[in-house]
Amino acid sequence: MIFPQKLAVVLHLRWYKTMQREKLVEVKDLKIHAKNDDGDIIPIVKGVSFDIHKGEVVALIGESGSGKTTISLAALSYTKPGLFFAGGELLIDGEDMLQAEPLRTREIRGAKVAYLAQSAAATFNPAITIGEQVTESAVLHGILSQSEANKRATELYHALELPDPDRIGFRYPHQVSGGQLQRLMAAMALCGKPDLMVLDEPTTALDVTTQIEVLKAFKKVIQDENSAAIYVTHDLAVVAQIADYIIVLYGGEVMEQGTAAEIINNPSHVYTQRLMAAVRPKPQAGLGSSVADEHEREIPAVKATDITAGYGGIIDGEPKIPILRDINVSVKNGHVVGVIGESGCGKSTLARVMAGLLPQSRGTIELDNEELEGDLRNRNLEQLQKIQFVFQMADTALNPKQVIGDIIGRPLEFYHGLKGNARHAKVVEILEMVELPAEFASRYPMELSGGQKQRINMARSLAANPEVMLCDEVTSALDSIVGANVIKLLTTLRDKTGVSFVFISHDLSTVASFADEIVVLYAGRVVEQGPTDDVLTPPYHPYTRLLISSVPELRIGWLEDTMQKREMAVGIAKDVEITSVGCPFFNRCPMGIEGTCEKQTPPVHKTDTDHQIACHRSIEELNMVEFEVQEALEHKKADEAIV
Amino acid sequence: MMTKMVLRRIAIGVATLVVVSVIVFVMTSILPGDVAQIILGQSATPETLAALRIELGMDKPGYIRYFQWLGNMATGDLGISKAGGATIESLISGRLGNTMVMSGLVAVISIPISIVLGLWAAMHPGALLDRAVTFGTLSLISVPEFFIATILVLILAVELHWLPSTAYLTGDETFAELLKALAMPLITLVIVVSAQMIRMTRAGILNVMSSPYIEMAILKGVPRRRIILRHAFFNAIGPIVNVIALNLAYLVSGVVVVETIFSYPGLAKLMIDGVQTRDLPLVQACAMIFCGAYVILILMADIASIMSNPRLRNPK
């Protein structure tokens, strides 16, 4: 029980805080329903209430289906097709958005309330210059003249630390990187000086290093502009960096709300606690699994030696557009090998080469010590059966017109000749292995949830009874809790069947939580690889260090602390350059040696285990703790000054 | 990159023309019938037939005749009609002019109508006008053009006496007379080609309308008219231009039926006459002109869609 006096003090403090800031948005018992094809009404948002004050960032947090995006779009008087406002009020400056006439909604959108979407790459019109899109809304609404808007846009580009801010507006969306587009979208939202910004998962699709740079820019402009914001996300660690106030949603209802500090440090609702538990811990040693010995064999299941691969014509073993260069990776039986790197680093290409979808231009792939043909058309049935691919999007990988029984049954028939009852019995057995009931055999993929579809996707590969499963970003499209369950299943399968997994991901925390070994790819090269614990403890490759530092922590103030670090100052907000000579990481490396790193291919250091680091710096130098790196940097700077 | 792509398209176009020229030559060579026999009639003696064959160059091997023909064709010498002895150039030039006038007029009328109607329908999907347009164009596409032509003749010429039922040209009409003479085939052709272009414009725009960047434009408060004209149209140009090009090419070559019904002295009709009289040089020349028109129009459409793609126009 709380003492009455204490309660009074708490209430008074709340009241005081509220009075300091003017109320901008009042959501009262908001209800949004959906109508499906049969005409049934399904409640999506079931009476949600909260307030937003001027200059305040309010986070809506929850898994997919929690209604967070639907609520945030209501602030723009917008519903996705098939949804409608069923009750309640959403007042902005006292005006109800739910009742706004079509003409009025057009005045509100972009002027009073601005929207930032998840994927800037998809939300920028490819046929129109960035500048026109950024200024369009402000000019159309008559807030600014075209020349004023251009000026303001340029100021925003400067504030968002975009490269070449005076001319970036003349470029087309495909001419800038994903992280830059995401920041440009912030400029687009802010150009018309809105009172409220709605940010819908603006960093979810980004790599950690890009995410941190975008978060930093967002935080800065939100503070500078003193605009209020609704920040929609499923990622608590991100929320902790940017939100003042947090609302936890589940199934269209508010589970808990409070200040960021209250929720992060002292979550009271069970669901919030579950969300917190699903936040993956900082990648560190000791989380990866130790390998079960029973499946241990001398020879590796799959071994890639000196692989170079890419797209376009091949001349002298050199593809026109090289993606991978001199890759050596071996996958031991019953091991989980995590392949980690930013988008475009060649992770998926590596899996495609192993599967025979993209024949390598140089090097060899071996399966059980036997060399494989590069092209899968030349591989025999047994070789095909032993290497199976699990694609990222279960939605597109599963045939929507086939029932689950046929999807899983097909490889059983194709590889093992099972038919009729024998096939059905095996389908049920495999469904059991992926922890789904036998009735699913007669269902269509459409009837399943995202997590269930991903299980079927894996079951389909599993049905071939493979030796190696190549999993390409299989948890990336899933919510944290669902994703965690898929990972749990994956380790269970490994322990039960001895299948090896190549687990491709851009998310180091996920990989660190269960992989036996980690391969770090950068710009098509292996910069570091070895047992999980070795990769995640010093000595680090400088890129691994940058990756580890970039993973957000569930702690208020983490973003500011991290930005103080040296590797951040040097490594963030720079583009990946794919180079044919030297170390590709040179342009982002805090320890680069001018004259050596960009010209010579780095030597591979081996520590006593299988741990390898490709770097010009010695193991001792790589072992240095943070401040020593900084010191080395100071020296480097001083040296440069003398030169 | 764009120049390279355009050059590649042009090269493909030229290659297509060469392949087609071989096919045209071979096909017309194996057509049954003997020109010499037709020219001289049933009473000709074997000696005169043989002499005429040598005169026409028909004794030489096929590939030599092909290269001669191709060379002449490339230099503008289309040869001499085997039936009648006039130069093919003189036979074609007037007819080609007529066909060009007709296709040009149809294009000038139908393209703006199609794009405006297509955009309009796309702007109000599900509205009365949209449904009328969708239903109307679908019905028109499914009906053969001779049926449309016949109905038009029945109504406009036979019943109402507004327009002449034939489009025979004497060559010295005033512009007004020309328009009146051409009105019937024009209306028929505009209806036939517009239907498809309207549908494609509408479909192209609506396809783009489901993109995330259109939703973004809506959430920026951009009016629907501007969303369609500025945000959607430029991304839908590629497919629309291609359908326009295909329809224009159809106009140049495929209007035989319409020309026949209205006795319009166009190129297609000339070609049919050529086939009937076994006039191989004439048939070959017409076929090459049709093929050339196709290739050029498709090439222009390809170049237009390359130009409308900002990724190709502005490389990184």
A417-447 tens-digit pLDDT: 988 899 999 999 999 888 889 999 999 988 8
> Which residues are CB-contacts of B186 (< 8 A; sequence separation ≥ 6)?
B102, B105, B106, B109
| Two structure tokens written together for A256 | 């808990």
| Residue A204 pLDDT > 80 | no
Interface of B with A in 287-316 (CB under 8 A): 308, 310-311, 314, 316
A531: phi > 0 → left, psi -120 to 50 → alpha, else beta; which? beta
B278 touches chain A (CB under 8 A): no
Angle at B306 between CA B302 and CA B311, to 5 degrees: 160
Tokens linked to A130? 């960035």
Amino acid identity of A424? H
Q: From the CA of A14, how many Å to the nearest CA of chain B?
A: 34
Interval B58-109: pLDDT, tens: 667 777 878 877 887 777 776 666 666 677 777 788 888 888 888 888 889 9
Length reported for chain B: 316
**Model pTM greater than 0.80?**
no
Whether residue A353 contacts residue A360, with contact meaning beta carbons closer than 8 Å, is answered with yes
Question: CB–CB of A442/A431 below 8 Å?
Answer: no
What is the per-residue pLDDT for A2?
Answer: 46
Nearest by CB: B311 against A76, A123, A126: A126
Radius of gyration over alpha carbons of chain B, in Å? 24
**Contact by Cβ (8 Å): A340, A348:** no
How many CB atoms lie under 10 A from the CB of residue B104?
Answer: 12
Q: Is the pLDDT of residue B279 over 50?
A: yes
Please give the share of chain B, as a percent, with pLDDT higher than 70: 89
Smallest Cα distance from B217 to chain A, Å: 9
CA distance A114 to B221: 9
B225 touches chain A (CB under 8 A): no
Residues B308, A127: C-beta atoms closer than 8 Å? yes
Whole-number mean pLDDT of chain B? Answer: 81
| Interatomic CA distance for residues A616 and A582, integer angstroms | 10
SS (H, E, C) chain B: CHHHHHHHHHHHHHHHHHHHHHHHHHHHHCCCCCHHHHHHCCCCCHHHHHHHHHHCCCCCCHHHHHHHHHHHHHCCCCCECCCCCCEHHHHHHHHHHHHHHHHHHHHHHHHHHHHHHHHHHHHCCCCHHHHHHHHHHHHHHHCCHHHHHHHHHHHHHHHCCCCCCCCCCCCCCCHHHHHHHHHHHHHHHHHHHHHHHHHHHHHHHHHHHCCHHHHHHHHCCCCHHHHHHHHHHHHHHHHHHHHHHHHHHHHHHCCHHHHHHCCCCCHHHHHHHHHHCCCHHHHHHHHHHHHHHHHHHHHHHHHHHHHCCHHHHCCC
Do the chains contact at A174 and B316, CB–CB below 8 Å? yes
User: Chain B closest CA to A132's CA: distance in Å?
Assistant: 11
CA distances from A292 to A329, A333, A334 (A): 20, 10, 8
Residue of B nearest to A80 (CA): B215
Picking from A484, A512, A446, A552, the residue whose alpha carbon sits closest to that of residue A285 is A512
Backbone angles phi, psi at A389, to 5 degrees: -110, 135
Smallest CA–CA distance, residue B230 to chain A, in Å, is: 8
The CA distance from B19 to the nearest CA of chain A, in Å, is: 27
pLDDT tens for each residue of A518-564: 999 998 899 999 988 888 888 888 888 888 888 888 888 888 888 77
pLDDT in tens, A477-492: 777 778 888 888 888 8
Residue showing tokens 């922590």:
A553
Q: What is the pLDDT of residue A64?
A: 77
The C-alpha atoms of residue A16 and residue A27 are separated, in whole angstroms, by 20
Nearest CA of chain A to the CA of B272: how many Å?
46
Residue-level pLDDT at A298: 64
Alpha-carbon gap: A198 to the closest alpha carbon of chain B (Å): 11
Question: Is the CB of A128 less than 8 angstroms away from the CB of B230?
Answer: yes
Q: Is the per-residue pLDDT at A160 higher than 60?
A: yes
Q: What percent of chain A has pLDDT over 90?
A: 29
Angle formed at CA B134 by CA B131 and CA B136, multiple of 5 degrees: 100
How many beta-carbon pairs below 8 A join chains A and B? 75
A574 pLDDT higher than 50: yes
**What local confidence, expressed as pLDDT, does residue A58 receive?**
94
Partner residues linked to A388 by β-bridges:
A469
CB contact under 8 A, B221 and A110: yes
Residue with tokens 């060559």: B171
In this structure, chain A runs to a length of 643
Residue A589, amino acid: C
pLDDT digits (tens, 9 = 90+) for B170-210: 667 777 777 777 888 888 888 888 888 898 899 989 888 88
Measured at the CA of A218, the angle between CA A214 and CA A219, to 5 degrees, comes to 120
Distant-in-sequence, close-in-space partners of B106: CB < 8 Å, separation ≥ 6: B186, B189, B190, B193, B251
How far are the Cα atoms of A305, A360, A379 from residue A371, in angstroms, in the given order? 10, 13, 10
Q: Residue A45 corresponds to which tokens in the numbers above?
A: 């948002």
Going along chain A from its start, the domains and CATH numbers come out as 50-278 (3.40.50.300), 293-521 (3.40.50.300), 543-642 (no CATH)
Amino acid of residue A285: A
Task: Please check whether residue A430 is in contact with residue A462, taking contact to mean a CB–CB distance below 8 angstroms.
Answer: yes
Q: How confident is the model at residue A20 (pLDDT cuts 50, 70, 90)?
A: low
Better pLDDT: A286 or B69: B69
- Higher per-residue confidence, A637 vs A346: A346
pLDDT bin (cut points 50, 70, 90) of residue A114 is: very high
Q: Does the distance separating the beta carbons of A172 and B221 come in below 8 Å?
A: no
User: Which of A:76-135 have CB within 8 Å of B?
Assistant: 76, 78, 105-111, 114-115, 117, 119, 122-128
**Confidence (pLDDT) at A5:** 55
Q: Select, from the ranges A319-333, A564-578, A579-593, B240-254, the one with the highest average predicted confidence (pLDDT).
A: A319-333
Distance CA A340, CA A515 (A): 11
- Which is nearest to A456 in space by CA: A489, A491, A425, A480? A489
Please tell me the predicted confidence (pLDDT) of residue B236.
87
Q: Looking at chain B, which residue has its C-alpha nearest residue A189?
A: B220
Contacts of A123 (CB under 8 A, 6+ apart): A117, A185, B212, B213, B215, B216
How far is A307 from A360, CA to CA, in rounded Å?
A: 6
What is the reported pLDDT for A411? 93
What is the reported pLDDT for A293? Answer: 52
CA gap A34, B171 in Å, rounded: 68
By the CB < 8 Å criterion, does B230 face chain A?
Answer: yes
| b/e burial code for range A530-544 (CB count within 10 A of at least 16 → b) | bbbbbbbeebbbbbb
The CA distances from residue B312 to A124, A178, B4, B230, B304, in Å, are 17, 19, 10, 19, 11
CB-closest option in A107, A117, A127 to B221 = A107
User: Of B257, B267, B255, B209, nearest to B235 (Cα)?
Assistant: B209
> Which residue among B213, B222, B314 places its CB closest to the CB of A124?
B213
Phi and psi torsions of A254, nearest 5°: -80, 125
Among B218, B222, B310, the residue with its CB nearest the CB of A136 is B222
CB count in 10 Å sphere of residue B90: 11
Mutate to test the interface with B, among A70, A123, A124 (most CBs of B within 10 A): A123
pLDDT greater than 50 at residue A215: yes
Which helix (DSSP H) or strand (DSSP E) does residue A337 occupy?
Answer: strand A336-340
Cα(B316)–Cα(A349) distance, integer angstroms: 23
Quick one: pLDDT band at residue A10, thresholds 50, 70, 90?
A: low
Q: How far apart are CA A453 and CA A445, in angstroms?
A: 6
**Is pLDDT above 70 for B316?**
no
Taking the C-alpha atoms of residue A470 and residue A428, their distance in angstroms, rounded to an integer, is 23
* pLDDT number for residue A1: 45
Residues of B in contact with A109 (CB under 8 A): 218-221
Query: Average pLDDT in the B42-52 region?
Result: 76
Average pLDDT of span A213-242: 85
* Average pLDDT, integer, range A345-355: 90
Residue with tokens 């590709």: A584
**Do B234 and A128 make contact, defined as CB atoms within 8 angstroms?**
yes
Q: What is the DSSP letter of A290?
A: P
Cβ–Cβ under 8 Å, residues B43 and B10: no
Average pLDDT (A259-263) is 89
CB atoms within 10 A of CB B36: 19
Residue from B205, B219, B227, B309 whose CB has the most chain A CBs within 10 Å, to mutate: B219
Chain B residues with beta carbon closer than 8 angstroms to that of A168: none
Q: What is the pLDDT of residue A415?
A: 92
How far apart, in whole angstroms, are the C-alpha atoms of residue A497 and residue A465? 9
Tally Cβ neighbours within 10 Å of residue B12. 14
Within A43-129, residue ranges assigned H as helices are: 68-74, 102-108, 120-123
Q: Note whether A117 contacts B216, CB cutoff 8 Å.
A: yes
Shortest Cα distance from B5 to chain A (angstroms)? 16
Residue of A nearest to B227 (CA): A125
- Sketch out chain B's domains with CATH numbers: 2-73 (no CATH), 93-304 (1.10.3720.10)
The better pLDDT of the pair A292, A470 is held by: A470
CA distances from B67 to A62, B21, B64, B85 (A): 75, 10, 5, 22
Q: Is the predicted pLDDT of residue B2 greater than 80, yes or no?
A: no
A184-200 mean pLDDT = 90
Q: How far off is chain A from B236, nearest CA to CA, in Å?
A: 10
B216 and A171 in contact by Cβ < 8 A?
no
A1 versus B162: the higher-pLDDT residue is B162
Give which of A77, A78, A119, A125 to mutate to test B binding, by max B Cβ within 10 Å.
A125
> In sequence order, what DSSP letters do the residues of A535-604 get, joined into one string?
HTSSS--HHHHHHHHHS--SSTTHHHHHHTSHHHHHHTT------SSS-GGGGG-TT--TTTTTTSPPPE
pLDDT at A643: 46
How much is the mean pLDDT over chain A? 84
